[in-house]
């Protein structure tokens, strides 16, 4: 009898644990679910030589300006995931991004590493309102800080009519660590595949290595036949 009671107790614990994990706000339904639902983009499957380069944490007065100069030089478009409070400090750079034809996207207002869902929603609205006040454009894309999210966060983001954008798993340059120009270049060039989304940073610290790496990466990928597109353009190509 004692063994039966222990068995039933263990069974109850397993069942409760199962439902707790799957119903928990912090549970992750997984990439397949969110890709099929159209809520999160990592990259797209295509044979066409297209690639999207993205920048987080800016704008920065020095490094974002240098990156914009470089993009203009090579006639390349990119997507910038903007921190709202940085946009307020550098409205002229945000306006230049927009006027140059780059895509403006949301990366929270204060770049918090831990945030509740209500706080996140507030930050999303603050950043979109800030960008709209500068450019007249309201972003439709969002990237969570450090790529961290929960199911509850995704539900809230979708209700705000924003799509979450991550990056190709092998295309995180980790340039924020200042690993050296060569390592940033090798990460991108060795990992590049059609439909990739590459993660760079234009703010949040010294991004001189990022700028130098881009001077090598962009012309080399163009030489290989790659076309640089914004995230929204990538999404449209996915629909073909």
pLDDT digits (tens, 9 = 90+) for 215-227: 999 999 999 999 9
Mean pLDDT of 100-117: 97
Residue 239: predicted pLDDT: 79
List, in sequence order, every residue forming a beta bridge with 228; answer none if it has no partner: 51
Quick check: is 23 in a domain? no
Q: How confident is the model at residue 23 (pLDDT cuts 50, 70, 90)?
A: very low
Identify whether 43 is a catalytic site residue: no
Q: Is 206 helix (H, G, I), strand (E, B) or coil?
A: coil
Residue 16: predicted pLDDT: 37
**Across 125-129, 160-164, 179-183, 234-238, least confident range:** 234-238
Which of these is catalytic: 60, 102, 111, 201?
201
Mean pLDDT, the chain, rounded, equals 90
Number of Cβ within a 10 Å radius of residue 164: 20
Quick check: is 6 in a domain? no
Preceding amide of 59 cis, omega within 30: yes
CB 130 within 8 A of CB 109: yes
Straight-line distance from the first to the last Cα atom of the chain, in angstroms, rounded to the nearest whole number: 63
For residue 195, give the DSSP letter.
T
Quick check: is 103 in a domain? yes
Residue 188: predicted pLDDT: 98
Q: Which residues touch 132 (CB under 8 Å, ≥6 apart)?
A: 138
Task: Give the pair of three-digit tokens for residue 143.
Answer: 């990237």
Is a pLDDT exceeding 70 seen at residue 27?
no
- Strand intervals (E) in the chain: 40-41, 50-56, 79-82, 103-106, 141-142, 163-165, 196-201, 227-228
Question: How far is residue 168's CA from residue 142's CA, in Å, rounded to a whole number?
Answer: 16
**Across 11-25, 76-90, 131-145, 176-190, least confident range:** 11-25
Q: Is 197 helix (H, G, I), strand (E, B) or coil?
A: strand
In tens, the pLDDT along 32-64 reads: 999 999 999 999 999 999 999 999 999 999 999
Residue 14: predicted pLDDT: 38
Check which CATH number belongs to the domain holding 63 and give it.
Answer: 3.20.20.370
Quick check: is 220 in a domain? yes
Percentage of the chain lying above the pLDDT 70 cut: 89
Quick check: is 5 in a domain? no
CB 41 within 8 A of CB 166: yes
Quick check: is 189 in a domain? yes
Which of these is catalytic: 56, 57, 175, 202?
56
Identify whether 107 is a catalytic site residue: no
Quick check: is 18 in a domain? no
Residue 92: predicted pLDDT: 98
Q: How confident is the model at residue 199 (pLDDT cuts 50, 70, 90)?
A: very high
> Which structural domain range is residue 98 located in?
39-238
Quick check: is 51 in a domain? yes
Is a pLDDT exceeding 70 seen at residue 18?
no
Q: In total, how many domains does the chain have?
A: 1
Residue 173: predicted pLDDT: 98
Mean pLDDT of 110-138: 97
Q: Is 169 helix (H, G, I), strand (E, B) or coil?
A: coil
Residue 28: predicted pLDDT: 75
Residue 238: predicted pLDDT: 84
């Amino acid at each position: 009898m004692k063994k039966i009671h222990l068995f039933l107790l263990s069974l109850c614990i397993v069942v409760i644990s199962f439902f707790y994990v799957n119903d928990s706000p912090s549970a992750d339904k997984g990439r397949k679910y969110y890709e099929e639902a159209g809520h999160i983009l990592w990259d797209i499957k295509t044979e066409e030589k297209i690639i999207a380069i993205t920048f987080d944490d800016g704008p920065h007065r020095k490094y974002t300006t240098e990156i914009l100069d470089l993009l203009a030089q090579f006639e390349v478009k990119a997507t910038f995931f903007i921190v709202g409070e940085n946009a307020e400090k550098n409205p002229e750079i945000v306006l230049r991004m927009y006027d140059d034809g780059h895509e403006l996207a949301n990366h929270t207002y204060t770049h918090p590493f831990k945030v509740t869902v209500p706080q996140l929603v507030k930050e999303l609205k603050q950043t979109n309102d800030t960008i709209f006040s500068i450019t007249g454009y309201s972003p439709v894309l969002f990237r969570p800080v450090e790529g961290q999210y929960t199911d509850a966060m995704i539900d809230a983001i979708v209700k705000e009519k924003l799509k979450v954008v991550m990056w190709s798993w092998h295309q995180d340059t980790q340039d924020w660590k200042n690993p050296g120009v060569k390592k940033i270049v090798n990460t991108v060039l060795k990992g590049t595949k059609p439909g990739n989304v590459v993660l760079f940073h234009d703010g949040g610290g010294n991004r001189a290595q990022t700028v130098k790496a881009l001077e090598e990466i962009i012309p080399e990928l163009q030489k290989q036949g790659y076309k640089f597109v914004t995230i929204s353009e990538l999404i449209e190509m996915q629909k073909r």
